[in-house]
Amino acid sequence: MPSPFANTTSPEGNISRMESAVSDKPLTTGKRREPYEQKRERAIRAAATVFAEKGYHGATTKDIAERLGIRQGSLYYYFRSKEEALEEVCILALRDYVGRMENITHSNKTFADKILDVVHSHLNSYRDDNEALKVHNDQRLYLPEERRERIKRDGSHYRKMLEDLFRAEIAKGAIPQNIDAQFAAQSVIGLCNSWGALLVRDDDIDMERLAERCSDLILNGCCYRPDHTFQSQP
């Protein structure tokens, strides 16, 4: 039996699969079998759901397999270990999350609109990746140090981009000097995470409204007078 884990680092899958994906020969007829990477991602999402509900240690590989409709042993065709499954869930959670932040920081909207976008994007991650981001937040520390390096790097990158957003605004003089960019960024992340955790498995919440409220809280606090509302200069 050929191992599907020929290459150890890339999350893109095994070599033979990659070659066949690159191969110019079109893969014949209509009803194709579901590609490896596609089913593997389904496996990752299944793991995310189970980890979110029961926690990493509380979840069993049997739980994950059942949700996928296969047997416990078969799961190891897609993961080398339960730990790897958790790592993949965390990586998946950060993938689009970080990408969207990059787009936001490079846009030329006003500061206030960027903050709204950040909050909106963050909260939306709890819809799209659903359980994955929750798992990243709550369970990633159960991974051993070596396995957390990439995850830590991505997380720090995200935080730093948000900090720089505040720093730039402070440098422009549009925000008081005494604001601490690190504090502000961490607060935005924390606020979004705590609301996001409540969002999971509660589909009837008005996201737009919530995002507006969150960014408004961050910019103006909950006690501002309308005529004092912050407006950043473009």
Partner DNA sequence: CTCTGTTTCTATTGACCTATAGAGTCCGCG
Partner DNA sequence: CGCGGACTCTATAGGTCAATAGAAACAGAG
DSSP string, 144-208: -HHHHHHHHHHHHHHHHHHHHHHHHHHHTTSS-TT--HHHHHHHHHHHHHHHHHHHTT---S-HH
d(C-alpha 115, C-alpha 87), whole Å: 29
Name which of DNA, a second copy, none residue 24 binds, using a CB cut-off of 5 to 8 Å depending on partner kind.
none
Name which of DNA, a second copy, none residue 71 binds, using a CB cut-off of 5 to 8 Å depending on partner kind.
DNA
Say if residues 120 and 176 touch (Cβ distance below 8 Å): no
Name which of DNA, a second copy, none residue 156 binds, using a CB cut-off of 5 to 8 Å depending on partner kind.
none
By CB under 7 A, is residue 201 in contact with DNA?
Answer: no
Interface size with DNA, residues (CB under 7 A) = 33
* Residues numbered 28-67 forming contacts with DNA, rule: CB under 7 A: 28-29, 31-36, 39, 59-62, 65
d(C-alpha 138, C-alpha 194), whole Å: 11
With vertex at residue 43, the alpha carbon angle to CA 70 and CA 99, rounded to the nearest 5 degrees, is 170
By CB under 7 A, is residue 138 in contact with DNA?
Answer: no
Q: Which is nearer to a second copy, 151 or 184 (CB)?
A: 184
**Tokens found for residue 132:** 């994955």
Q: Which is nearer to DNA, 73 or 234 (CB)?
A: 73
Interface residues with a second copy (CB under 8 A) are 54-58, 112, 138-139, 142, 166, 169, 174-176, 179-180, 183-184, 186-187, 189-191, 193-195, 198, 210, 213-214, 216-226, 228, 230, 232
Neighbours of 1 (CB within 10 A): 4
Name which of DNA, a second copy, none residue 208 binds, using a CB cut-off of 5 to 8 Å depending on partner kind.
none
Stretch that binds DNA, among 79-87, 157-165, 176-184, 226-234 (CB under 7 A): 79-87
